[in-house]
Structure 1
C-alpha cells in the first residue's frame, strides 16, 4: 500500500450541460477552475454511454456501448494530471427504467442532465501505469 495525506479546502458544485460529453464537461470544469487533483461524485442521466471493463488476464479494457437513456445512479471519480492536463477517471452505476443496472469505467456518455460535487486537493496528483495490474493509477 502507498498512502499520503492530502489537504484541500476548495469545493465546487457543478451542473453539466445538456448534450455535452460527460467526461469532457468535467475536464473542462477542472481546467477552468485550475483543479489539478480532486475527488468527485455526480448523479444525473445520460442519453447513451460507453463503459469499459478491465480484463485482468489480458491487461486490456473491453468496451460495451449502451445506446439508450440511462439514469446515473452514481458516478465517482478522480481528477489528476496527465501530460500537465487535468484528466478524469470515472466509474458509474447506470440504471435502466426496469431498475436493471450496468456499471463500469465511464469512457463516454452524452449528458441529459448532471450535477457534480468536487473536492480538490492542494497537492497535484499524476497517473502512471502500475506494472502489477497494467492500469494508470496515482503515483
Structure 2
C-alpha cells in the first residue's frame, strides 16, 4: 500500500446548476479554486446518466446509458490531475422510481438538482497509468 498524509486546505459547499453536466460542475469548482487535489460527496437528482463499469479482464470501461430521471442516493469522488487537467473521479449510487439501484463510475449526467461538499488538499494528486490494473491511479 502507498499512502501519504494530506493537509486540508479549504472546504466548500455548492449547488450544482440545473441542466449542467454533473461531473463538469465539480471540475469547474476545482478549476475556479485551483484545487489539484480534493475529496467530495454529493447528492441530488439527475435527468439521465452514463455509468461506466471497469472490465478487469479486458482492462477497459464498459458504458451503460440511462435516459430517465434518477435519484443520486450517494456520490463520492476525488479531484486529481490527469494528463495535466483536473479530473473528477466520480462514483455514484443512483435509484430509479421503483427503488432499484444502479451504481458505478459516473462519467456524465444532466443535473436536475445537486448539492456538493468538497474538501481540498494542499499537495496535488497526480494520476498515471498503473500497469497491473490498466487504470490511471495516484502516484
TM-score range for the pair, normalised by the shorter chain length: over 0.9
Matched, 1:60 2:60: yes
Q: Which residue of 2 aligns with 1:11?
A: 11
Further displaced range: 66-75 or 1-10: 1-10
Deviation at 1:85, TM superposition (A): 2.2
* 1:48-95 CA-partner distances (Å, limit 9, x unpaired): 000000000000100000000000000100100123321111000000
Residues 41-56 of structure 1 mapped to structure 2, 5 A cutoff: 41-56=41-56
TM, length-normalised to structure 2? 0.98
Give TM-score scaled by structure 1 length.
0.98
Structure 2: state its 5+ residue gaps: none
Where does residue 29 of structure 1 map in the other structure? 29
Counterpart Cα distance in 2 of 1:79 and 1:32? 13
What aligned pairs does 1:59-98 form with structure 2 within 5 A after superposition? 59-98=59-98
Tell whether the 8 Å contact from 1:41 to 1:76 is kept in structure 2 after alignment: yes
Give the secondary structure class of the aligned counterpart of 1:109.
Answer: strand
**1:132 aligns to what?**
132
**Cα RMSD after superposing both structures:** 0.7
Give the distance between the partners of 2:93 and 2:131, measured in 1 at CA. 27
Aligned residue number for residue 111 of structure 2? 111
SS at match of 2:118: strand
Give the gaps of 5 or more residues in structure 1.
none
State how many pairs are aligned. Answer: 139
Contact in 2 for aligned 1:31/1:85 (Cα 8 Å): no
1:62 and 1:91 map into 2 onto residues whose CA distance is: 14
